[in-house]
Amino acid sequence: MLQVRVKPGIEDRIRGFFPWVYRAEIASLSRKPKKGELVVVRDFGGKFLGYGYINPDVSIAIRILSFDKEEPVTPELIKKRIREAYDYRKRLYINSNAFRLIHSEGDLLPGLIVDVYGEYAVLEFTTYGMNRFREVVLEALVETLRPKGIYEKANLTAQKVEGIKVREGPVYGEVPDEIVIWEHDLKYLINIPEGQKTGFFLDQRNARKFVRSLVEPGDRCLDVFCHTGGFALNMKKMGADEVIAVDISEPALEVGRKNEELNGLSGIEWVQANAFDYLRELDRRGEKFDVVVIDPPSFAKNKHAVPNALRGYKELCVRGLRITRQGGYLAIFSCSFHITEQHLLEVLTQASYDVRRQVRVIAKTFQDKDHPWILQMPNTLYLKGIWVEVV
Catalytic residues: 335
Q: Give the Cα separation of 114 and 133 in Å (integer).
A: 14
Q: Name residues whose C-beta falls within 8 Å of residue 256's C-beta, 6 or more positions apart in sequence.
A: 226, 227, 228, 229, 232, 233, 245, 247, 268, 270
* Bridge partner list, 330: 292, 388
- The CA–CA distances, whole Å, from 116 to 45, 199, 287 equal 44, 10, 40
Sheet with 359-366, strands from edge to edge, namely 268-272, 242-247, 220-224, 289-294, 324-334, 384-390, 359-366
Q: Give the Cα separation of 171 and 106 in Å (integer).
A: 24
**Strand 220-224 to strand 98-103: parallel, antiparallel, or no bridges (unpaired)?**
unpaired
- How would you classify residue 22: left for phi > 0, otherwise alpha for psi between -120 and 50, otherwise beta? beta
Q: Give the Cα separation of 13 and 377 in Å (integer).
A: 10
- The CA–CA distances, whole Å, from 129 to 160, 250, 261 equal 14, 37, 43
3-state helix, strand, coil split of the chain in percent (to 5) is: 35, 30, 35
Report the amino acid identity of residue 276.
Answer: F
Q: What angle do CA 205, 210, 212 make, to 5 degrees?
A: 110
- How would you classify residue 339: left for phi > 0, otherwise alpha for psi between -120 and 50, otherwise beta? beta
Q: Name residues whose C-beta falls within 8 Å of residue 75's C-beta, 6 or more positions apart in sequence.
A: 133, 136
Instruction: Kindly state the DSSP code that residue 198 receives in the 8-state scheme.
Output: T
8 A C-beta contact, residue 215 and residue 242: no
Q: Give the Cα separation of 229 and 109 in Å (integer).
A: 31
Closest to 77 (Cα-Cα) out of 35, 121, 55, 108? 108
